[in-house]
Amino acid sequence: MPVKSKTTVKSKKTKAGESPAFTRPKSRVIAITGTRSFIGSNLLQRLQQEGRHQLVALDLEKPDFLKPATRFYKLDLTSTTADVTLSEILEREKCDTFIHLAFLSSPTHKSSYAHELESVGTMYVFHACAKNKVKKIIVSSTTMVYGALPINPNFLVEESPLRGNREFRPIRDRIEVEEHAQNFQKKHPETTVTVLRPCTILGPTIRNFITTYLSLPVITTLLGYDPLVQFVHEEDALDAYRLAVERDCRGVFNIVGRGVLPLSTIVKLSGKVKAPILHAFAYPMVEGLWLAQVGIAPAAYLDYIRYLWVADGSKARKELGFFPKYSTKESLEAFLGIQRLRAIHLVE
């Protein structure tokens, strides 16, 4: 059952097996960062199509899909005055909801920039929201913050400790983002803070370093290791963020697809050649390729194809009302289908 909130009212009785109908929530004034990211651009376009909310887009450059009714402001979260600029925008637009999606989808060699954008930028976001008494904040995270470890249980729940490698800056930055959110919620209990932790998002249109890894003609694995892997379809991920907009559910939620697959099965379904490498050689080799700027990710990411880091999605089902339509296998098949069409140049 969907969770009731202040913006919803109880529906009329329905027949067994039917979904209850809820009165549409009141209109919000929503500010969104990262409007050129996959989640940000697609979520913003969905909200524009619905036309029920006043929308404010915040980014370095104006997206080309914005409708006239959507207000745009240039915002650089790496600027030292970003919190002041953002606070002025929120006050001017009277924003009551903030969706923070300004995060990188793939590793970058510009680690200092990434830290300023993700960790420090998130701190600026919370400062501005606190000053303007924003009622609802949605922050994007990732199940990678749990870390990939041999001691992980079969399914990680939201209360599991965040054991991601803090010596590895990209993961440390994402953990710091969640710490900012947790500290803000403690200081401002009147605000609803929702943190969504999607697992690897896969589908026909999204592109990130995982899709690059799965697109390689030869897929590197670690000899003797075959962890279970989970994906969430890009449409399901967008549905989860859409639900978070409409339902005032505070806390952290794992956003995952149905089921899991062994990495070996993923490689087999992809029709690719598997190249198992002894981990003692794989880590320095991958790190060397990364430092030479020809690799797709630093060696620390090898942990995620070595150990288990599968998350449990029951809390999102119970409280957020998120029921994924696609399984991990179906998400992979959707990605592989478009890859085959690209290989024969039927799509870009």
Pairing of strands 192-198, 251-255: parallel
Q: What is the pLDDT of residues 68-85, one digit of tens each?
A: 999 999 999 999 999 999
Nearest Cα to Cα of residue 263 among 213, 334, 208: 213
pTM here?
0.89
Pairing of strands 97-100, 29-33: parallel
CA dihedral over 241, 183, 172, 317, signed as positive or negative: negative
Average per-residue pLDDT in the chain? 91
Pick the CATH number of 29-204+231-257+310-325 from 3.30.420.40, 3.10.300.10, 3.40.50.720, 3.40.1440.10: 3.40.50.720
Q: How far apart are CA 102 and CA 116, in angstroms?
A: 11
Residue 18 has pLDDT above 90, yes or no: no
Please, what is the Cα angle at 82 between 182 and 56, to 5 degrees? 85
Q: Cβ of 141: how many Cβ atoms within 10 Å? A: 21
Q: What pLDDT band is residue 16 in, cutting at 50, 70 and 90?
A: very low
Q: How far apart are CA 156 and CA 197, in angstroms?
A: 12
Q: What Cα–Cα distance (Å) separates residue 305 from each residue in 26, 223, 230, 257?
A: 44, 11, 12, 18
Q: What is the pLDDT of residues 241-280, one digit of tens each?
A: 999 999 999 999 999 999 999 999 999 999 999 999 999 9
The contacts of residue 343 (CB under 8 Å, 6+ apart) are: none
Residue 342 has pLDDT above 80, yes or no: no
Q: What percent of the chain has pLDDT over 70?
A: 90
Q: What is the pLDDT of residues 117-142, one digit of tens each?
A: 999 999 999 999 999 999 999 999 99
Q: What is the pLDDT of residues 320-337, one digit of tens each?
A: 999 999 999 999 999 998
Least confident of 21-35, 54-68, 164-178, 221-235: 21-35
Residue 15 has pLDDT above 60, yes or no: no
Q: What pLDDT band is residue 347 in, cutting at 50, 70 and 90?
A: low
Q: How far apart are CA 122 and CA 277, in angstroms?
A: 38
Q: What is the pLDDT of residues 233-245, one digit of tens each?
A: 999 999 999 999 9
Residue 6 is predicted with a pLDDT of 42
Q: How close are the terminal C-alpha atoms of the chain, in Å?
A: 41
Q: What pLDDT band is residue 167 in, cutting at 50, 70 and 90?
A: confident
- 22 by DSSP, 3-state: which? coil
C-beta separation of 178 from 234 below 8 A: no
Residue 168 is predicted with a pLDDT of 87
DSSP letter for each residue of 303-335: GGGTS---B--HHIIIII----SSBHHHHHHHH
